[in-house]
Amino acid sequence: MDIQSKVEKREHWSKKREYILASAGNVVGLGNVWRFPYLCYKNGGGAFLLPYLFFAVLCGMPLFLLETVIGQYTQEGTITCWTKLCPLAQGNEVISLYSRVYSIVLAWALLYLVYCFRDPLPWATCNNSWNTDRCVDITSANQTAVHSDNVTIDWTLGNLTKSSVSEFWERQVLSISAGIEEPGAVKWEVLLCLLACWVACYFSIWKGVRSAGKVVYFTAVFPYVMLAILLVRGLTLPGAWEGVVYYLYPDPSRLADLQVWMDACAQVLFSYGVSSGSLITLGSYNRKNNNCYKDSLWLCALNSTTSFVAGFTVFSALGFMAYKQGIPINMVVESGPGLAFIAFPQAAAMMPVPQLWAACFFLMLILLGIDTVTITSSVIDMFPGQMRRPWRREVFLIVFCLFCFIIQISLTTQGGVYLFQLTDHYAANGACILFVGLLQCGAVGWGFGAERMCDVVEDMTGHRPSVFFKLCWRYFTPLISVVCFVGFFLDYQPLTSNGGYMYPNWAYHLGWVMALSSVVVAPIWAVSKICLTSTLMTAQGGAGPSAATSRGERRKTG
């Protein structure tokens, strides 16, 4: 009896706002800042908002609400929750393992943050040991001199020169190798920053929602403060409005391109955080009577609004860069890591008090990337009798964080950025997220029952969901998921780096293995479960229900 009394009960959020802030910090992340603005520019400006809103309404919001309701109703993590809904759907959370790869982005941002306290900023000049003869000082306007021989070079010569911020990113931070087949040495500065990120992650969740609920007051609110400051500062820069116009100018002809719709679908799923297990886990710590229906709608609106507003922040800075350098905006636009670690540092270096604006930006990136580790909650829910005893969770978290850190050491090598891009492109892409979302809709809409799930929402919140969501869970979202899943394969392009580097064949095979591992586990689990159940029924009853009926008739006869 004394042993049983030491088993801790499952926790709940102390206050509702802790859940709201934790969910906001989870869904509003790196994709809102570095991916949405670029995709909007690339895919028709304002016209891109049409496919984005289409997928947000028909896929993003229904899946967001569905996962939140699943967590709150079952009071279980992302693995064990399906035992109460549809046991065949277990095993669809492998993709959440690959999402840990984005910890390396936090390590890069932390390293940049450390460099922000130098005067001048190390990426603003060509007077450093890592610079080459092709280096161009980014603080100069239209034309500038290559530092070695004072030859005047025009910015538009592109491949003949290299900006100082690009050389800092490629030669100092990454020391990038020729390809993934040349891993090179470990960058100890990046390694230490990665270790610091995992230590911070550990202490933010080591006491479960008790500690995470307090941490989110800072990690969720501060990025919005920084985003507002950077937005106001960006819009007051010369050339900013040209950047905003370039960001929003609609090109309706782009809507005929399949790639535009696939990009919109992937962006919605990625930024809403669906199919990763985090929404289920965060919702599971709510009390049963929480109005998760209203919360989900507001959080979805917050996510999309943040993405849209972040575009103004990013493109006002890019417009300023183009104005200072006298070049078109399309020559300074970069996607992904290039936008975060090349374009904005370059813009910050051109502003007054550059250290302040650079530090604000990278601190915002770090806080956007820190979220709760849902995998640990799932494991604890799988073994509550063992893991909810004093200090068991803390020890398990140490082991888990250490395991992830060791696995990610490969990302801190000189060839680590190639591995990061490979994992990002294949293992956690839109097609994999779509497949998991399709399984969830099938399990709930047809297995558990969409009407029954609406009853659950009404019982918990007192409000019955719109019939629109029931139709989405049963028909609209699964149908769109199937169409887009096929579309991703029709639109498939092999991964290449920005410099045109083609990965070796074995790397592409590795990428497909990671992609398949995200989607095949659930079907294998379901088939295994069916076969095992069938075998047990045959062993126990011979002919199942028929045998039971025969036994009942014999008892009546006797």
Q: Please check if 286 is assigned to a binding site.
A: no
**C-alpha to C-alpha distance for 470 and 452, rounded to whole angstroms:** 10
Distances (CA, A) of 155 to 143, 160, 328: 6, 9, 11
User: What single DSSP character describes residue 275?
Assistant: T
Q: Please check if 28 is assigned to a binding site.
A: yes
For 114-162, give the secondary structure using H, E and C.
HHCCCCCCCCCCCCCCCCCCCEECCCCCCEEEECCCCCEEEHHHHHHCE
HSE-up (13 A, CA, CB side) for residue 272 = 36
User: What single DSSP character describes residue 388?
Assistant: T
Pairing of strands 143-145, 152-154: antiparallel
Q: Please check if 163 is assigned to a binding site.
A: no
Q: Please check if 371 is assigned to a binding site.
A: yes
Record the tokens describing residue 522, joined without a space: 């659930």
Q: Of 23, 22, 48, whose CA–CA distance to 311 is shortest?
A: 48
User: What single DSSP character describes residue 163?
Assistant: E
- Name the residue with tokens 């996607």: 335
Distances (CA, A) of 192 to 111, 205, 405, 442, 491: 9, 20, 10, 44, 39
**C-alpha to C-alpha distance for 154 and 148, rounded to whole angstroms:** 16
**C-alpha to C-alpha distance for 101 and 418, rounded to whole angstroms:** 12
Residues 6+ apart with CB under 8 A from 296: 61, 64, 65, 68, 69
Q: Please check if 25 is assigned to a binding site.
A: yes
Q: Please check if 271 is assigned to a binding site.
A: yes
Q: Please check if 445 is assigned to a binding site.
A: no
**C-alpha to C-alpha distance for 411 and 109, rounded to whole angstroms:** 14
> Of all helices (H) and strands (E), which one includes residue 418?
helix 416-426
CB 325 within 8 A of CB 315: no
Question: Under DSSP, is residue 186 helix (H, G, I), strand (E, B) or coil?
Answer: strand
Q: How far from chain centre, in Å, is Cα 241?
A: 29
Record the tokens describing residue 268, joined without a space: 């919605």
**C-alpha to C-alpha distance for 365 and 492, rounded to whole angstroms:** 30
Residue 186 pairs in a beta bridge with: 413
Residue numbers belonging to the annotated binding site for Na(+): 25, 28, 32, 271, 303, 368, 371
Residue numbers belonging to the annotated binding site: 25, 28, 32, 271, 303, 368, 371
